[in-house]
């Protein structure tokens, strides 16, 4: 198969990621069908995408006619069979639960044409864990976008145990064709590339905080001013949701039993108080002020 043979894309899972991945592909000329088991999720996705594109019109970056053409290419359905039966490429962005993903891939394998590539946007699951649910493991791959996918340029493309070189190449080419920049990982590794590096930075930042070396706001400032990072690790934690980092650490601690992997106390206290970051208005920083102010422990 060649890149030009990919005309129709199915995106399944219309949440934070899937909604924007779908519109990004439609913006680049692809016919896209967005699927979700919940009709409300599809409606929310369309409404959210319309707002994004209206902002582009207001800034003079798009015309009303272009917006109409994009939405003509974006279809929605709650039937997975309808969404994928003539798709050349599927991007799965359903909840991060292995059993759910396996069920979805089993259905995709059943309903898609034989040539269709099945990509998962999973943050942590390697495609080799999901591929056995299909009869086409050579056509299963990770295509990992970053939030928000309309803005973030990077896509990690990950080769699994049985992913073919052709699948890897086409996935990277498709990422470029929809305006993203792919990097290829030749091996599956938990957290892929960016999240591993992020985890290392975040672990070191908590080490410095817990050992009383510096305050979290000074650690953030140091990363901004010394490394040119747009935000430090604690503010980034607020941005992503402190519960996400907490749950990921707790799971690693449960699996390993290693005390050093316990979620840091400063993180645990905030999560237990319900201070989950920007989405609750308060985390390491208080977002009711401008600029945000550091919170007390």
Ligand X SMILES: NC(=O)c1ccc[n+]([C@@H]2O[C@H](COP(=O)([O-])OP(=O)(O)OC[C@H]3O[C@@H](n4cnc5c(N)ncnc54)[C@H](O)[C@@H]3O)[C@@H](O)[C@H]2O)c1
185 binds ligand X (CB under 6 A): no
Q: Give me the 97-116 binding string for ligand X, x by CB under 6 A, dash otherwise.
A: ---x---x------------
Residues of this chain, 144-183, that bind ligand X according to CB under 6 A: 145-147
Task: Check binding of 126 to ligand X (CB under 6 A).
Answer: no
Nearest in space to 270 (alpha carbons), one of 242, 249, 294: 242
Helix axes 233-240, 194-210, angle to 10 degrees: 120
Q: How far is the CB of 99 from ligand X (least distance, A)?
A: 10
So which residues are the catalytic ones? Answer: 123, 144, 156, 195
Least distance in angstroms from the C-beta of 222 to ligand X: 25
Kindly state whether residue 188 participates in binding ligand X, applying the rule CB under 6 A: no
| 9, 94, 130, 141: which one binds ligand X (CB under 6 A) | 94
Interaction with ligand X in 8-47: which residues (CB under 6 A)? 12-18, 35-38, 41
Distance separating alpha carbons of residues 194 and 199, to the nearest angstrom: 9
* Smallest separation, CB 85 to ligand X (Å): 15
Stretch 212-241 residues interacting with ligand X (CB under 6 A): none
Name which of 139, 145, 85 is nearest 117 in CA terms: 139
The Cα 202–Cα 220 span in angstroms is 10
245 in contact with ligand X (CB under 6 A): no
Q: Which of 39, 95, 189, 265 is the binder for ligand X (CB under 6 A)?
A: 95
Nearest approach, Cβ of residue 115 and ligand X (Å): 22
Helical H segments across 7-63, by residue range: 16-27, 39-58
Cα 238 to Cα 280: distance, rounded to the nearest angstrom: 9
CA 201 distance to own-chain centroid: 20
Strand partners for 194: none
Q: Establish if 207 lies at the interface with ligand X (CB under 6 A).
A: no
DSSP letter for each residue of 204-238: HHHHHHHTTSS-HHHHHHHHHHHH--SS-HHHHHH
The yes or no reply on residue 49 touching ligand X (CB under 6 A) is no
Name the residues that contact ligand X, by CB under 6 A.
12-18, 35-38, 41, 93-96, 100, 104, 121-123, 145-147
């Amino acid at each position: 198969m060649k890149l030009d043979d990919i005309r129709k894309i199915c995106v399944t899972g219309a949440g934070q990621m899937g909604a924007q991945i779908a519109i990004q592909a439609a913006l680049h000329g692809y016919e896209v069908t967005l699927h979700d088991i919940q009709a409300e999720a599809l409606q929310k996705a369309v409404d959210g995408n319309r707002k994004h594109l209206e902002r582009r019109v207001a800034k003079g970056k798009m015309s009303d006619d272009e917006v109409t053409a994009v939405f003509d290419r974006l279809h929605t359905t709650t039937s997975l069979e309808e969404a994928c039966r003539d798709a050349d490429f599927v991007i799965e962005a359903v909840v991060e639960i292995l059993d759910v993903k396996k069920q979805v891939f089993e259905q995709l394998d059943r309903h898609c044409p034989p040539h269709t590539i099945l990509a998962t946007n999973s943050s942590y699951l390697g495609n080799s864990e999901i591929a056995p649910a299909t009869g086409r493991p050579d056509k299963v791959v990770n295509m990992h976008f970053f939030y928000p996918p309309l803005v973030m340029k990077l896509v990690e493309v990950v080769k699994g145990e049985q992913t073919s070189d052709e699948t890897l190449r086409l996935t990277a080419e498709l990422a470029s064709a929809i305006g993203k920049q792919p990097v290829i990982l030749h091996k599956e590794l938990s957290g892929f590339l960016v999240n591993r590096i992020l985890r290392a930075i975040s672990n070191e930042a908590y080490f410095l905080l817990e050992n009383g070396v510096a305050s979290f706001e000074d650690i953030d400032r140091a990363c901004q001013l010394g490394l040119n990072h747009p935000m430090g690790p604690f503010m980034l934690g607020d941005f992503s949701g402190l519960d996400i980092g907490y749950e990921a650490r707790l799971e690693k601690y449960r699996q390993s039993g290693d005390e050093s992997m316990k979620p840091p106390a400063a993180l645990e206290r905030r999560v237990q108080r319900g201070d989950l970051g920007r989405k609750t208005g308060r985390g390491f920083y208080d977002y009711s002020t401008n600029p945000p102010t550091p919170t007390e422990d």
